[in-house]
Amino acid sequence: MKATPFLMFQGDAKAALALWCDAFPELEVIAREEYSDGPLTGQIASATIRLGGSEWRLHDSPPIHAFTFTSATSIFVDCDDEAHLRRLAETLGAGGQVMMALDHYGFSRLFIWLADRFGVSWQLNLP
């Protein structure tokens, strides 16, 4: 058995993937297929990525739906050092929203919780 997080976008999967590749140079795109015709031409039909030892799947949904990402589900990243955390916070946070500002909260040396401009929630931690 294998369980894989699945992130469904509405036309922004390619741009989100570009942002994440910029933020995480070690991110590996394992597979990527784009829609070749119709109204979604050029958008991501399916992509599999690997980051920090885990695989995720991305998809641009053909039907428009009334839901999107929620902060209740987030990607938790333990950073290597303070410079790494600050760079990720700046890159991922550009155009996004901060839920918990960059600070020392007692459970780690430095922490920030933010959503990138696509609504994907990230908890960046310096243990």
* Domain boundaries along the sequence of the chain: 6-60, 74-126
pLDDT tens digit sequence for 87-126: 999 999 999 999 999 999 999 999 999 999 999 999 999 9
20: confidence class by pLDDT, cuts 50, 70, 90:
very high
DSSP string across 64-96: --S----TTSEEEEE-SSHHHHHHHHHHHHTTS
**Contact predicate 100/1, CB 8 Å:** no
pTM greater than 0.75 (yes/no): yes
Q: How far is CA 102 from CA 58, 93, 111, 117, in A?
A: 28, 11, 5, 17
78: confidence class by pLDDT, cuts 50, 70, 90:
very high
CATH class of 74-126: alpha beta
- What are φ and ψ of residue 34, in 5° steps? -105, 155
CA gap 99, 121 in Å, rounded? 9
CATH class of 6-60: alpha beta
